[in-house]
């Protein structure tokens, strides 16, 4: 597998330069997530420039991460805006030299795509998600890229099993998953004993894994249950087992460190490297 980072990268793509690319590579990464704030406003020349600047330092685009309207928005006009932007992002992904477009399902919550809301996992919402992905998938197939779905307990894709059911319902070879197991940890049993939970998740989703996120999880000492993600090494997640299962499922794929300020990334990287050493895994360039 390969090491990437979701971070250390400017949101304003016009500011991407050799210094940005060199810092990513010298920190120890060969891949980076590129957030695309306005997919429909991007051009081929912009994407090619970013790709070539990164390549000059030995860095690839691990995946394109576009911002777009929720794929489950009950307002069909707004949902279609999201579909249109995501379809076009498949072309941007190819221009960036990547094989993966990161896909979030969205939420019914108007305040954010990763926030919980009543009805997020209703049959109607899941059908709407499947329908949206069926509209996007032909564009991904045409451009030769994958749609890597990410899930999480607050979202319509609230479990590994639901993720698999949606992938198979869409029925496209382009629809796959970004393996972020921490996002599915929702009980004390799974948090305190993450090893069997990791195995169950990979047993369900291994055929569809094309990339992943690596982080940690901790249980807060509160009366009402609070389970939060945290930086690698600050929690109780079995990263060795995660890395072993990822290596078996997707040996050429990227795992990315995410959700950290830039100054905390090097330490997180050292923790992940140490976990890989204990797991007997050698990183690929």
Read off the pLDDT of residues 18-55 as tens digits, 9 standing for 90 and up: 999 999 999 999 999 999 999 999 999 999 999 999 99
CA-wise closest residue to 208 among 133, 261, 266: 133
Residue percentage of the chain with pLDDT more than 90: 99
For 58-113, what is each residue's pLDDT tens digit? 999 999 999 999 999 999 999 999 999 999 999 999 999 999 999 999 999 999 99
> Residues near 10 by Cβ (< 8 Å), separated by ≥ 6?
16, 20
- Residue 225: other Cβ atoms inside 10 A: 11
Helix/strand number for the chain, H first, E second: 9, 10
DSSP-derived secondary structure letter, 61: E
**Where in the chain are the domains?**
2-279
Per DSSP, the residues of 104-126 read: ----S-TT-TTS--TTTTSHHHH
Assigned superfamily of 2-279: Divalent-metal-dependent TIM barrel enzymes (3.20.20.150)
- Integer Cα distance of 181 and 157 in angstroms: 12
> Residues near 58 by Cβ (< 8 Å), separated by ≥ 6?
25, 30, 285
- pLDDT of the residue at 199: 98
- pLDDT of the residue at 219: 97
- Integer Cα distance of 121 and 126 in angstroms: 6
Summarize the confidence of residues 171-189 as an average pLDDT.
Answer: 97
- Integer Cα distance of 128 and 16 in angstroms: 36
- Integer Cα distance of 255 and 258 in angstroms: 10
Summarize the confidence of residues 133-146 as an average pLDDT.
Answer: 98
Summarize the confidence of residues 191-213 as an average pLDDT.
Answer: 98
> Residues near 139 by Cβ (< 8 Å), separated by ≥ 6?
86, 87, 88, 90, 91
- Integer Cα distance of 174 and 91 in angstroms: 14
- pLDDT of the residue at 137: 98
For 208-266, what is each residue's pLDDT tens digit? 999 999 999 999 999 999 999 999 999 999 999 999 999 999 999 999 999 999 999 99
- pLDDT of the residue at 127: 98
Instruction: Return the percent helix, strand and coil in the chain, to nearest 5.
Output: 45, 20, 35
255 — alpha (psi -120 to 50), left (phi > 0) or beta?
beta
- pLDDT of the residue at 231: 97
- pLDDT of the residue at 58: 98
Task: Provide the whole-model pTM.
Answer: 0.96
Would you say 220 and 228 are in contact if contact means Cβ atoms under 8 Å apart?
yes
- pLDDT of the residue at 65: 98
For 129, phi then psi, to 5°, come to: -65, -45
- pLDDT of the residue at 251: 97
Cα dihedral value 273, 279, 284, 285, nearest 10: 0
């Amino acid at each position: 597998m390969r090491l990437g980072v979701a971070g250390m990268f400017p949101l304003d793509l016009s500011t991407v330069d050799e210094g940005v690319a060199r810092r990513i590579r010298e920190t120890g990464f060969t891949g980076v997530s590129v957030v695309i704030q306005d997919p429909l406003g991007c051009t081929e020349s912009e994407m090619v420039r970013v790709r070539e600047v990164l390549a000059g330092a030995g860095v690839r685009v691990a995946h394109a991460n576009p911002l777009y309207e929720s794929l489950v928005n009950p307002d069909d006009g707004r949902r279609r805006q999201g579909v249109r932007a995501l379809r076009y992002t498949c072309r941007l992904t190819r221009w960036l030299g990547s094989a993966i477009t990161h896909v979030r399902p969205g939420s019914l919550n108007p305040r954010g795509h990763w926030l919980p809301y009543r009805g997020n996992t209703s049959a109607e919402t899941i059908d709407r998600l499947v329908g949206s992905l069926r509209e996007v998938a032909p564009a991904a197939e045409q451009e030769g890229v994958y749609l890597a779905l990410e899930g999480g307990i607050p979202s319509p894709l609230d479990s590994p099993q639901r993720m698999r059911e949606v992938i198979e319902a869409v029925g496209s070879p382009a629809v796959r998953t970004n393996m972020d197991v921490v996002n599915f940890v929702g009980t004390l049993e799974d948090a305190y004993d993450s090893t069997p939970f990791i195995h169950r998740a990979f047993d369900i989703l291994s055929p569809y894994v094309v990339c992943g996120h690596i982080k940690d999880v901790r249980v807060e000492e509160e009366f009402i249950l609070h389970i939060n993600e945290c930086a690698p090494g600050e929690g109780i997640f079995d990263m060795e087992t995660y890395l072993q299962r990822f290596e078996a499922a997707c040996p050429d794929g990227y795992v990315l460190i995410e959700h950290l300020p830039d100054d905390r990334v090097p330490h997180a990287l050292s923790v992940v490297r140490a976990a890989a050493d204990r797991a007997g895994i050698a990183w690929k360039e």
